[in-house]
Amino acid sequence: MNDDKPFPPIEMFEVLASTLDSIHQAADDGAPEWTTHIALEQTRGRGQQARAWWSPSGAGLWMSTLLRPKCDRSIWGGIALVAGAATRRALTALGADEIELRWPNDLYARSRKLGGILAESKDQSAGAWISLGIGINIDLESEKLREKAPDGLSDRIICLREVSPAAESDPGKIALAIIEELRPLYGQFQHGEKLGDILGGDLSVAGREVLVERPGKPVLRGTAAGIGSHGELTVVDEEGTTHELVAAEVTWDC
């Protein structure tokens, strides 16, 4: 897609099972790149490792965008971080403060989770594509939504209304701001620029103490050293051994 070509109109739905799934279907039907779906409510939203993503009506932005990268499939894993940087920049431009992008795909504010990004790729008859899902908590205070959160979730999440009450709260406007920020970063990504250069100061990892939990492996304690070219997190453990992590549960600054 040329940088000056208009985005396809954003499609808004009252309820979807998952915007990720609706974009996968649209892609298989031949939809153009940058097709974007927003659901005011998701009934089967999901996050990393297929975990349920609580996305009730009126609480946030639940969106997915279709990407059809022309770059090598081996680097597609970095797109979630690129989208995270675009989302952070968009939210900051719209008046939100204190937004932190954390590896591998989370947005935090005041040490609580504000949102997340999930990139799912598929290769089918209509070609290869990415369904890029972005979820942001906008307002958990109205309608006492926080009280309805699943067990254990309420104290771990935060919303834009708490962080910056005056920030933009319209899901459609936030979504458009995100894809406008994403387009130039996506262009850099496809042209092979280093992931660290694309992310700039949006992702700060080097020198931070981490605790890493991986299924079937001992807990890893160490110091984050940086991000690899495919989005992997490099950690040096207490014995000086370097580990490259593709996916893991990470506790920061521990």
pLDDT, one tens digit per residue, over 7-22 is 999 999 999 999 999 9
Containing domain of residue 98, as a range?
Answer: 11-201
Same domain, 143 and 232: no
State the CATH number of the domain containing residue 233.
2.30.30.100
Same domain, 216 and 192: no
State the CATH number of the domain containing residue 84.
3.30.930.10
Q: What is the model's pTM?
A: 0.93
pLDDT, one tens digit per residue, over 157-216 is 999 999 999 999 999 999 999 999 999 999 999 999 999 999 999 998 989 999 999 888
For position 1, what pLDDT does the model report?
42
pLDDT, one tens digit per residue, over 54-100 is 999 989 999 999 999 999 998 999 999 999 999 999 999 999 999 99
Mean pLDDT for 27-41 is 96
Split into its structural domains, the chain has a count of 2
Residue 228 covered by a domain: yes
For position 3, what pLDDT does the model report?
65
Same domain, 117 and 137: yes
Does the pLDDT of residue 52 top 50, yes or no? Answer: yes
Same domain, 197 and 241: no
Element (H, E) at 152: none
Mean pLDDT for 229-234 is 89
pLDDT, one tens digit per residue, over 89-117 is 999 999 999 999 999 999 999 999 999 99
Burial profile 126-156: b = 16 or more Cβ within 10 angstroms, e = fewer: eeebbbbbbbbbbbbeeeebbeebeeeeeee
Same domain, 228 and 166: no
Same domain, 178 and 211: no
For position 216, what pLDDT does the model report?
87
Which residues lie closer than 8 Å to 127 by C-beta, 6 or more apart? 27, 68
